[in-house]
Amino acid sequence: MAGFDIRELMNDIDEAPGKVWFWDLEKAVIDADRCVQCGVCVAACPTDSIGIGSDDLPELVKMCTGCSLCWDFCPRGGLQYESTWKIMGADHSVEGIGKVEESYTARVNPMIEGVQDGGFVSALLISLLEAGEIDGALVARESATERWKGEAFLARTPEEVRECAGSFYNQTLALGHVDFKEYDLPPNPRIAVVGTPCEIEGIKAMQARPWTWGTSKVEAITLTIALLCTKSFNYEKLMLEEIQAKRGVDLENVGRVDIIRGKMIVQDLEGESIFEEPIRDFHGAALKGCDECADFMGHAADISVGSVGSADGYSSVLVRSEEGLTAFESVREKLELRELDKPEALDKLDALDKRVAFKSLKRAFDPEAPLFIDYEEHLENYAGTDRAPVEHEAVRY
Ligand SMILES: Cc1cc2nc3c(=O)[nH]c(=O)nc-3n(C[C@H](O)[C@H](O)[C@H](O)COP(=O)(O)OP(=O)(O)OC[C@H]3O[C@@H](n4cnc5c(N)ncnc54)[C@H](O)[C@@H]3O)c2cc1C
Ligand code: SF4
Ligand code: SF4
């Protein structure tokens, strides 16, 4: 099937004004330093032409047909990301925590070792696996070769979920790992995905249409869990340059990294503080594209989870959908639950996140807009700004 036919079927742009190639995405997003490493372009490519380079950025690995889908589904490109929120039934004025069915401050009891906050995410995944409700959970596991670098990993046993507990403050290009071909799974697997809100936006946009091209199995994803997120980081810049080189911290000796109450907190293996510094000192290591994101709350997810809004050692849990409610029931009895401790803290951080996003986005923010933005329209909005496409010699196959 020709690229244009696919595009007409897959999105709500009636007539494609021209082909958009991978190298157009490259100029406007990747080379313009706006990529947030979600991996959605990898999943969206119907010919599996996009891979992940050694720099953890998407790269062309074989011929691009100009079908435009990598552009359409990129949350820094053609995807009007905030328009994915209405897929979940959110109204147009998505403020604060947004659409929720239930919300809690929660902690698993007994506690699971190594979790970041109240252990809700690990407890939920373990319960779902034990109940046979899912066949795997796409989470982050520490790289075998690089300390404190999270990599996408499909956990298929409670033990594997336990090994992957805790937060890695780098993106894993999760959507670049949903072909699941390296895993032995049943014929129609049911997979839970834990990811940052931009990754969940991509899943929901792709799932809103039948997807039968390429090897990515977005249809296998039956539950999405968003980690509340104001920014993510470049692994090399944060862990190797800022923490290891500049501050002289041996990463082998780091037991915990936390970003909480506006501070970066790094502890050793015994739980003693190595340093505590304002998060603004690390701004240079954050992904520039994150500034344009107003989805701290993970509005497109079935369940959003974070630390803000709850006392230390607890998780703030926002259950947004029927699927989320059903999943939540499987873990309810293993949790200490109460009303959200400080919902106003969530609202406050959301307002700050949106202020930054509205300043950085070079287009109008509009959750009611169509889901896709044409490349030409993007150029009109971004040309001449500090986020303009970067001209370069494209590698063409
Ligand atoms: C980049 C980033 C930024 C965040 N920013 C905030 C914030 O500003 N405010 C806030 O309240 N919370 C934030 N969080 C969420 C917070 O750090 C915890 O992940 C969350 O509270 C869940 O805690 P838990 O104890 O329930 O999870 P756990 O039981 O510890 O489980 C966490 C799960 O998330 C998976 N995971 C860890 N890192 C990643 C990753 N990078 N990509 C995909 N999956 C991953 C783990 O493998 C594990 O399965 C952020 C998380 C990340 C990764
Ligand atoms: S932001 Fe996501 S979809 Fe866009 S180029 Fe980067 S990895 Fe691909
Ligand atoms: S701030 Fe937004 S764009 Fe950046 S990683 Fe978090 S959810 Fe993705």
| pLDDT tens digits for range 46-56 | 999 999 999 99
**Residues 312-335: what's their mean pLDDT?**
98
CA of 333 to the centre of ligand 3 (A): 32
Relative orientation angle of helices 120-130 and 322-329, to the nearest 10 degrees: 80
Q: Are strands 191-195 and 221-227 parallel, antiparallel or unpaired?
A: parallel
CA of 107 to the centre of ligand 2 (A): 33
The mean predicted confidence, pLDDT, of the chain is 94
- As a whole-number percent, the residues of the chain with pLDDT over 70 amount to 93
In terms of Cα–Cα distance, which of 166, 232, 167, 165 is closest to 199? 232
The closest ligand to the CA of 287 turns out to be 3
Whether the CB of 198 sits within 6 Å of ligand 3? yes
Provide the 10 A C-beta neighbour count for residue 99.
Answer: 16
Supply the residue whose CA is at minimum distance from atom 8 of ligand 2. Answer: 41
Is residue 70 over pLDDT 60? yes
131-157 per-residue burial string, b: 16 or more CB within 10 A, e: under 16? eebbbbbbbbbbbeeeebbbbbbbbbe
Q: List strands edge to edge, sheet with 221-227.
A: 150-155, 136-142, 191-195, 221-227, 303-306, 315-319, 102-108, 335-338
pLDDT tens per residue, range 254-303? 999 999 889 999 999 999 999 999 999 999 999 999 999 999 999 999 99
Mutate to test the pocket of ligand 3, among 33, 34, 36 (most ligand atoms within 8 A of CB): 36
Whether the CB of 231 sits within 6 Å of ligand 3? yes
pLDDT number for residue 396? 59
pLDDT number for residue 210? 82
Whether the CB of 367 sits within 6 Å of ligand 2? no
pLDDT number for residue 2? 45
CA of 109 to the centre of ligand 3 (A): 30
CA of 73 to the centre of ligand 2 (A): 8
Higher-pLDDT residue of 96 and 165 is 165
Q: Does domain 3-83+365-382 have CATH number 3.40.50.300?
A: no
pLDDT number for residue 213? 80
pLDDT number for residue 1? 44
The closest ligand to the CA of 174 turns out to be 1
> Burial level of 269, CB count in 10 A (0-12/13-18/19+)?
exposed
Mutate to test the pocket of ligand 2, among 26, 30, 196 (most ligand atoms within 8 A of CB): 30
Is residue 326 over pLDDT 80? yes
CATH number of 84-225+287-358: 3.40.640
Is residue 93 over pLDDT 90? no
Q: Would you list the domain boundaries of the chain?
A: 3-83+365-382, 84-225+287-358, 235-285
Whether the CB of 38 sits within 6 Å of ligand 2? yes
pLDDT number for residue 9? 66
Provide the 10 A C-beta neighbour count for residue 101.
Answer: 14
**Residues 9-16: what's their mean pLDDT?**
59
94 — pLDDT class (breaks 50, 70, 90)? confident
Is residue 228 over pLDDT 80? yes
CA of 38 to the centre of ligand 3 (A): 8
Closest ligand 2 atom, CA of 30? 5
CA of 226 to the centre of ligand 1 (A): 8
Is residue 320 over pLDDT 80? yes
**Residues 205-222: what's their mean pLDDT?**
90
Written out in words, the top-level CATH class of the domain with range 235-285 is alpha beta
Whether the CB of 195 sits within 6 Å of ligand 1? yes
394 — pLDDT class (breaks 50, 70, 90)? low
Q: Are 3-83+365-382 and 235-285 the same fold in CATH?
A: no
Whether the CB of 235 sits within 6 Å of ligand 1? no
Whether the CB of 148 sits within 6 Å of ligand 1? no
Is residue 344 over pLDDT 70? yes
pLDDT number for residue 12? 61
Mutate to test the pocket of ligand 1, among 116, 221, 282 (most ligand atoms within 8 A of CB): 116
Supply the residue whose CA is at minimum distance from atom 2 of ligand 2. Answer: 38
Is residue 75 over pLDDT 70? yes
